[in-house]
């Protein structure tokens, strides 16, 4: 899947996110407008805890490292409420 082709503004709490490196994450919530990043996410597969992403799923707004960045490339909508 291609990086930068998702829109995390479409996510609901609990949606599963897939990173370009194959990790599974969970969408947590949008961040306040005055935050540097746009969305909070939580790693499910690794012990990396919580992180943040831009609207288009990138780890970093500018200085990107595709070999190590868990940019979001897919959104899997949850089918039932958690």
| pTM to 2 decimal places | 0.89
Name the residue ranges covered by the structural domains of the chain: 8-76
**pLDDT of 21-76, one tens digit each?**
999 999 999 999 999 999 999 999 878 899 999 999 999 888 888 899 999 999 99
Q: Determine the pLDDT at residue 46.
A: 78
Residue 81 has pLDDT above 70, yes or no: no
Q: Determine the pLDDT at residue 61.
A: 85
Q: Determine the pLDDT at residue 80.
A: 67
Give the separation between CA 47 and CA 82, rounded to whole angstroms: 22
Residue 82 has pLDDT above 60, yes or no: no
């Amino acid at each position: 899947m291609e990086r930068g082709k998702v829109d995390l503004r479409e996510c609901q709490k609990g949606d599963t996110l897939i990173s370009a490196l194959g990790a599974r994450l969970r969408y947590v919530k949008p961040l306040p407008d005055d935050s540097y990043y746009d969305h909070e996410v939580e790693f499910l597969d690794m012990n990396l805890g919580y992180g943040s992403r831009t609207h288009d799923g990138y780890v970093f707004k500018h200085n990107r490292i595709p070999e190590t960045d868990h940019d979001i490339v897919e959104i899997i909508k949850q089918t039932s409420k958690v």
